[in-house]
Amino acid sequence: DIQMTQSPASLSASLGETVTIECLASEDIYSNLAWYQQKPGKSPQLLIYYANSLNDGVPSRFSGSGSGTQYSLKINSLQSEDVSIYFCQQNYDSPYTFGAGTKLELK
Amino acid sequence: EVQLVESGGGLVQPGRSLKLSCVASGFTFNNYWMTWIRQAPGKGLEWVASITNTGGSTYYPDSVKGRFTISRDNAKSTLYLQMNSLRSEDTATYYCTRDRIIRGFDYWGQGVMVTVSS
């Protein structure tokens, strides 16, 4: 199975800051990576697919990058509504595995 | 508007069975793969089962293979998950999702809670 390691596990940032979350795959997943946002008490929502493609309706302050085994999610100009848990997920090979999540809080 | 509405959850004893349903609306159901994903309380996300748009092929991780069966009725725009031989570790919120394969799971239901306990 492909292991997905996210870092950091949690982070605290101020409004307007730029934050970056990392995701490391245990083998090359050829950009088959998605990012999801889960707000407190809600279902996850797709933010990014294929490493860097923004899903419909997602604000442009979110961006994804990376290749091979290393990927990142960047949030520019942090807003209060971005307080969430963020998960990465590989859809290159079954079983389709998720990272453990990064909890983003406001400082 | 795309909607996915799950039902069928509840409290069940270990070793018993439960069947979840997910009614889809707002899109052409038979054009899309569908997937169940679960989340144990306070934990991360786990892929549970996927099915092709025709229902001709299904996919499972080892943790549920042989116990869970995903199926669909395209005439009713409904997805199912039959869960047998349930274990305490199957306790989770189960989400029905629309699966765009390499483009990710782009719509999620509100989730349905399954608790396996004696």
Q: Spell out the long-range contacts of A50-58 with Cβ–Cβ below 8 A and sequence spacing 24 or more.
A: A50/B102, A50/B103, A53/B103, A55/B104, A55/B106
Nearest to A98 among B44, B62, B95 (CB): B44
Q: How many helices (H) and strands (E) does chain A have?
A: 0, 10
Distance CA A83, CA A104 (A): 5
pLDDT, tens digit only, all 107 positions of chain A: 999 999 999 999 999 999 999 999 999 999 999 999 999 999 999 999 999 999 999 999 999 999 999 999 999 999 999 999 999 999 999 999 999 999 999 99
B33 CB within 8 Å of a chain A CB: no
Is residue B61 a contact partner of residue B39, using CB atoms and an 8 Å limit? no
Candidates A96, A98, A102, A103, partner chain B, best to mutate (most B CBs within 10 A):
A96
- Interface size A-B, in CB pairs within 8 Å, comes to 54
Q: Tens digit of pLDDT for each residue in B40-76?
A: 999 999 999 999 999 999 999 999 999 999 999 999 9
Q: Do B45 and A96 touch (CB under 8 A)?
A: no
